[in-house]
């Protein structure tokens, strides 16, 4: 489940082999699965991008963004199981999209691989990009959040804090796994109404968010037991070894050693927390 750290790892992993590359082909690899959502269709994409150069590779919340010399932008949304790869796909049958690039007289291939096929690829004009991924649709990036901004954003809703953290309009980039890890570090109850946090609590949330996300980027993200998330070279991340609560239900809390980690369901998603360290 690529969240901010996993997408950041993808971007860093492909950047050096992609920036400056001239697109010589875009193709759909052989794949017997139901096709993923690609807009516009392949023919139109080819018409617009072949011959252009990739000027930059960035992350926008949980999406990968390729900016082209024409001003158009590819936006790749991995959703659950999508990966950006330079080599070594986990399986051939789930390759969904291929960019062929010419860089320094060499040919490179960049792939989008997606087991479940919920991912999407969009080619936007600059104007469309601003409309689709602008501040109206996506809140500030989680790495840009200050405690002041947290206070402002959390005032907007009375939903439980953990549910609010997953709302990409409030803060962009946090997903189910890191929300639990951040709240554990901040010693905050996932169930507390978002607009009832004190200033001190917002400061803790702010610090923990940066700490956890930066650490997870250092460790190249979390590869779970299903092995789905991999970096650009099809290697495991290692942040899964640092998880303190995610999927740790019924194990002793590593901080207080007096309570077991609990799993509850909020908005149909699993939440993990220590009831002793994170009281209501």
Partner DNA sequence: ATTAATGTTCAGAA
Partner DNA sequence: TTTCTGAACATTAA
Active site residues: 2-3, 62, 269
Query: Which stretch in 39-47, 175-183, 196-204, 250-258 sits in contact with DNA by CB under 7 A?
Result: 175-183
Closer to DNA by CB, 7 or 54: give it.
7
Residue 5 touches DNA, criterion: CB under 7 A: no
Q: Choose among 76, 262, 252, 120: nearest CA to 180.
A: 262
Q: What's the sign of the alpha-carbon dihedral 98, 239, 175, 248?
A: positive
Nearer residue to DNA within complex by CB, 105 or 268: 268
In angstroms, what is the minimal distance from the CB of 251 to DNA? 15
Report if residue 89 touches DNA, rule: CB under 7 A.
no
Q: Between 222 and 261, how does the x/- string for binding to DNA read (CB under 7 A)?
A: ---xx-----------------------------------
Site string (113-152) toward DNA, x via CB under 7 A: --xxxx------------------x---------------
Q: Is the dihedral of CA 16, 22, 24, 29 positive or negative?
A: positive
Which residue stretch of 42-50, 91-99, 141-149, 235-243 sits at the interface with DNA (rule: CB under 7 A)? Answer: 91-99
- Neighbour tally for 247: CB within 10 Å: 15
Q: Is position 15 an interface residue for DNA (rule: CB under 7 A)?
A: no
Q: Strand 120-124 and strand 37-39: pairing?
A: parallel
The b/e string for 252-278 (b: 16+ C-beta within 10 A; e otherwise) is: ebeeeeeeebbbeebeeeebbbbebbb
Check: CB of residue 86 under 8 Å from CB of residue 17: yes
């Amino acid at each position: 489940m690529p969240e901010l750290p996993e997408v950041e790892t993808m971007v860093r992993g492909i950047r050096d082999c992609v920036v400056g590359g001239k697109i010589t082909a875009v193709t759909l690899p052989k794949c017997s699965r139901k096709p993923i959502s690609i807009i516009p269709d392949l023919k139109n994409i080819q018409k617009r991008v072949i011959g252009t150069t990739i000027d930059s590779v960035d992350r926008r919340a949980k999406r990968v963004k390729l900016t082209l010399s024409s001003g158009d932008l590819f936006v790749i949304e991995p959703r659950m199981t999508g990966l950006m790869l330079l080599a070594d796909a986990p399986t051939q049958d789930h390759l969904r999209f291929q960019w062929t690039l010419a860089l320094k007289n060499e040919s490179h291939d960049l792939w989008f691989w997606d087991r479940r096929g919920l991912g999407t690829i969009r080619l936007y004009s600059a104007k469309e990009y601003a409309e689709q991924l602008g501040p109206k649709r996506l809140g500030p990036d989680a790495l840009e959040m200050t405690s002041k901004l947290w206070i402002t954003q959390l005032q907007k809703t009375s939903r439980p804090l953990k549910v609010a953290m997953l709302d990409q309009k409030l803060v962009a980039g946090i997903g189910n796994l890191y929300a639990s890890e951040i709240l554990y570090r901040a010693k905050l109850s996932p169930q507390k109404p978002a607009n009832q946090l004190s200033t001190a609590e917002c400061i803790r949330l702010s610090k923990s968010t940066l700490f956890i996300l930066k650490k997870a980027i250092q460790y190249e993200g979390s590869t779970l037991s299903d092995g789905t998330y991999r970096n650009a070279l099809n290697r495991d991340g290692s942040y899964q070894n640092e998880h303190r609560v995610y999927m740790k239900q019924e194990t002793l809390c590593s901080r207080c050693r007096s309570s077991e980690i609990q799993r509850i369901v909020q908005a149909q998603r699993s939440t993990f927390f220590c009831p002793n360290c994170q009281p209501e």
